[in-house]
Amino acid sequence: MAIPIAESLKLGLSDIMMRKVRSVVTVIGIILGVMCIMVVLAIVNGMNKSTISWMEERGGLNKIEVEQNWQYDFSKGGDPSFTLKEIRYLQSLIPEAEAFNPTVQEWEAVINKDDIRYSTSLRGVMPDFVKVEQWNIDKGRFIKDLDIDLYSNVIVLGSTVAKEFFGNNDPLGQTISVGNQQFIIVGVMEKRFMQTQGGQIGMGDNALEYMNRRCFIPISTMISKVNPGGKISSLDIRAKSPEAAKELRRKVENIVLNLKNGKRLFQVTSAKEQLDTMQANVKVMEAIFFLIAVISLLVGGIVIMNIMLASIRERTREIGVRIAVGARRRDIFIQFLVQTILITALGGVLGILLGFAILKQVGNYLQIEVVASVQMIWVSLLVSIGVGLIFGVVPAVRAARLDPVVALREE
């Protein structure tokens, strides 16, 4: 003759409806805790999403970068650059790589045509560049193997550079000079765009605008004509998958170390591993925020426990009556436990609604992307029910243990 849970739910609901104001006040702690969880999860989701899209915009998680090691102590000697021969040798050792592109950089090259002068970062690259960077050509073509072999004077412009010189006119086939060399424009890169996050000052709204200001020429032409003695100091490799990239990174690191007689002149990083590190940092933040949420939920739970205890003291006679007409101790226990859980679940639902309501404001205020997800609702609801379950036990036990004779005498 147990009273079913449905009956307890009905009892609990009518009790809550009868004491609306008290019920809402009771759960303020839970509401705040749940809101906190909601916002944290949304921020973490947002951070993960923008980190991944940043990585993807920069060539994806398959990318491995070989760069000069700025921490190397150059007093120990060594030249942090590769010759074209070393590059060819390295490439032959890693046939599993999907794309392979060394770069020679000229940071401050001045391009001019007629009266227009433009300072740009000029890069000598190979045809695989577009594959490594996952960056397509918008007009014309990119640099080809034949251009490398023939030391051709061809150039591909970034979209911003093309606009500076030609506005809306077609730049293809036009000539432009870099230093004393004339180049034929064979292509224009696609515009890269990613919304700036977090309001970094001076970046404008396109976090990738610096890429649109670059120009590209064959690496052979760069070394022989534009910047004689220019050195190959960086190398990008693309693996078949993010996991393969981790593996390949270690292999490339060893090859480079051997090439340079064991000197750590270069550092080899994989985007996947960088992402892992960044996500580990996000995890730490996540943990800190969750601790805050847990503390506010604990406080909320203790408040609820005390209010429930007070409410049971107030309802002693009612409990006595229920026992007198046949309620078992278990029925009383369930009645009060279910009521506490209902109250915290109600707080959870309010917290979820308010959390959604403030999510946008938080995102705008911190100038970061927040991403809502269904998982947030489940986590919040489960947590608030869990708080009710934990903090409802003591009051429910107290109620169930009342002596009916004493309880009925209570005024």
Residues near another protein (CB under 8 A): 1-3, 7, 14, 18, 317-318, 320-331, 404-405, 408
Nearer CB in complex with another protein: 2/302 = 2
Q: Give whichever of 6 and 374 is closer to another protein, judged by the CB atom.
A: 6
Least gap, CB of 394 to another protein (angstroms): 20
Question: Which is closer to another protein, CB of 178 or CB of 327?
Answer: 327
Report in angstroms how near the CB of residue 403 gets to another protein at its nearest.
8
User: Which residue number, 173 or 326, has a Cβ lying nearer to another protein?
Assistant: 326
d(CA 351, CA 120): 52
- How many angstroms separate the Cα of 125 from the Cα of each of 89, 305, 352? 17, 68, 52
* Cβ 405 to another protein shortest distance, Å: 5
- C-alpha 353/C-alpha 27 separation (Å) is 14
Q: Minimum CB separation from another protein for residue 305, in Å?
A: 23
The CB-of-385 to another protein minimum distance in angstroms stands at 25
Cβ atoms of 45 and 373 closer than 8 Å? yes
Closest CB 33 distance from another protein, rounded Å: 30
- What SS3 class is residue 34? helix
Taking the complex as a whole, the smallest distance from the CB of residue 399 to another protein amounts, in Å, to 15
How far apart (Å, rounded) are the C-alpha atoms in residues 195 and 401?
62
- What would the DSSP string read from start to end of 86-131? HHHHHHHH-TT-SEEEEEEEEEEEEEEETTEEEEEEEEEE-TTHHH
Confirm if 393 and 314 have CB atoms less than 8 A apart.
no
* CA–CA dist 135, 119 (Å, integer): 22
Looking at the Cβ atoms of 321 and 368, the one nearer to another protein is: 321
- Shorter beta-carbon distance to another protein: residue 138 or 318: 318
CB of 316 to another protein, least distance (A): 12
- Residue whose structure tokens are 């090439």: 259
For residue 274 the two structure tokens come to: 């960088």
Cβ pair 348, 376 in contact under 8 A: no
When the beta carbons of 250 and 330 are compared against another protein, the nearer one is: 330
Using a CB cutoff of 8 Å and minimum separation of 24, what contacts does 193-196 make?
A: 194/53, 194/54, 194/57
As a whole number of Å, the end-to-end CA separation of the chain is 30
Q: For residue 322, what are the CA distances in angstroms to 116, 308, 371?
A: 93, 18, 49
Closest distance to another protein from the beta carbon of 324 (Å): 5
Q: What 3-state class would DSSP assign to 350?
A: helix
Nearer to another protein, 10 or 117 (CB): 10
Q: Are 104 and 232 in contact (CB under 8 A)?
A: yes
**Separation between Cα atoms, residue 355 and residue 373, nearest integer Å:** 12
The residue among 7 and 67 lying less far from another protein, judged by its C-beta, is 7
Name which of 15 and 209 has its Cβ closer to another protein.
15
Contact 228, 194 (CB under 8 A): no
Q: CB 6 → another protein: shortest distance, Å? A: 10
